[in-house]
Structure 1
Amino acid sequence: MPQMNVVASSLLTNSNTNSILPPGNVVNASVLMGYNALNSAAQLQLQQQQQKTQEANIPPLLGASPLGKVQITQEHATQLSALEHSMRHPPLPSDSERLRTHLPRSPCQVPPHYPQTPPPLSDVLEYFNHLQPETLFFIFYYLEGTKAQYLAARALKRQSWRFHTKYMMWFQRHEEPKTITEEFEQGTYIYFDFEKWAQRRKEGFTFEYRYLEDKELS
């Protein structure tokens, strides 16, 4: 037994382990084997940790472009503009409704040969674009609050008519304005007088932009 203790002591002295052993020059073989086993387990655990996949958090912008921000292309700018415009004009529930049977607002007796229902596709903008201005004015002033009034207004705007919210009349440039500022323009205009039901000309008229109905009808 003394010889075994001496051998264990020499092995402990010559080992390269960093273990902390109890003080003294004599250590029995079982204690030495226990410390060696713990040392081996610790080294194995350290190796396993080093071999594990390391995770790193990279900001998405830098992940997509390591060199920093990249200027947006013209194609992407066009796509973003179209997307923003579509978000401002989402579909309405009424867009998916079925066409309803025509119900006349003022029923009256008419000859049998007289049309009993509106012509097909008469509630679309393309149909209104082919109507004369006087017909559009009639629809606008006498069918207030209807889809027909809305379509008539769009068709009039396409024909360069502009609605004056103070006089409640439609105006159109007769010629290029002689004076144009940020607040108004002045020149000769054609306007529709709904009381006399006639188009008239007004020279030297000042059209203030604050009275211009400029809502986007789309």
Structure 2
Amino acid sequence: LNALNDSFMQMPTGADSERQRSYTPRNPYPTPSCYPQNPSPIFENPAVFEKLGTDALFFIFYYAQGTYQQYLAARELKKQSWRYHKKYMTWFQRHEEPKVTTDEYEQGTYVYFDYETGWTQRIKTDFRFEYSYLEDSLSV
């Protein structure tokens, strides 16, 4: 009975299944003072982000969370017709025109960015993109 009580005390919570939102290195290493400690001011310029490829924009979006650079990367991805899905926390782009379109969703073939298992773009056929999960606002 004690073992059962002890296991009850270690029961998982809802937060245990949530994805970690920011990168924390296992073994942080102090950066030498000769290495730049702050991002270059050039990365404050939106024109720089217009010249970056999608891989660089995805990298900035996922690894510079909560920064102005993340906002600029998201803005540029949206210009390139990528749409952020809040439930799956990834970016989708139409591969072809949707087969079904309603006021609540559209269904068809999409390209999505797989940042968790392959850091690559994959195709999802017959995907139902519900508009309630569409991130439609960009905040700084």
Unmatched 5+ residue regions in structure 2? 1-28
Cα deviation 1:52-106 (Å, max 9, x = unaligned): xxxxxxxxxxxxxxxxxxxxxxxxxxxxxxxxxxxxxxxxxxxxxxxxxxxxxx7
> Equivalences for 1:62-141 in 2 at 5 Å?
108-109=31-32, 118-141=39-62
Tell me if the contact between 2:109 and 2:125 (Cα under 8 Å) persists in the aligned partners.
yes
Shift of 1:130: 1.0
Q: Percent identity?
A: 59
Q: Which residue is 1:167 aligned to?
A: 88
Tell me if the contact between 1:154 and 1:217 (Cα under 8 Å) persists in the aligned partners.
no
Shift of 1:201: 0.4
Bigger RCO (CA 8 Å, 6+ sep): 2
Shift of 1:115: 7.0
User: Structure 2 vs 1, CA of residues 116 and 146 (structure 1 numbering), >3 Å: closer, same or farther?
Assistant: closer
Q: Which residue is 1:214 aligned to?
A: 136
CA RMSD of aligned residues (A): 2.3
User: What SS does the aligned partner of 1:122 have?
Assistant: helix
Cα deviation 1:108-142 (Å, max 9, x = unaligned): 249x7x87765553212211111111111111111
User: What SS does the aligned partner of 2:75 have?
Assistant: helix
Aligned length: 111
Cα deviation 1:142-185 (Å, max 9, x = unaligned): 11111111111111101110000000000000111111111110
| Residue 78 of structure 2 is aligned to residue 157 of structure 1 | yes
Tell which structure's C-alpha radius of gyration is larger: 1
CA distance in 1, matches of 2:54, 2:112: 11
User: Structure 2 vs 1, CA of residues 143 and 117 (structure 1 numbering), >3 Å: closer, same or farther?
Assistant: closer
Q: TM-score, normalised by structure 2?
A: 0.70
CA distance in 1, matches of 2:84, 2:123: 15
Shift of 1:198: 1.0
| Residue 122 of structure 2 is aligned to residue 203 of structure 1 | no
Q: TM-score, normalised by structure 1?
A: 0.46
Higher helix share: 1
Higher strand share: 2
Could you tell me which amino acid in structure 1 is paired with residue 121 of structure 2? Q
Structure 1 moving runs of 4+ over 3 Å: 114-120
Tell me if the contact between 2:43 and 2:69 (Cα under 8 Å) persists in the aligned partners.
no
The counterpart of 1:184, out of the listed 105, 112, 119, is 105
CA distance in 1, matches of 2:73, 2:53: 10
Could you tell me which amino acid in structure 2 is paired with residue 133 of structure 1? T
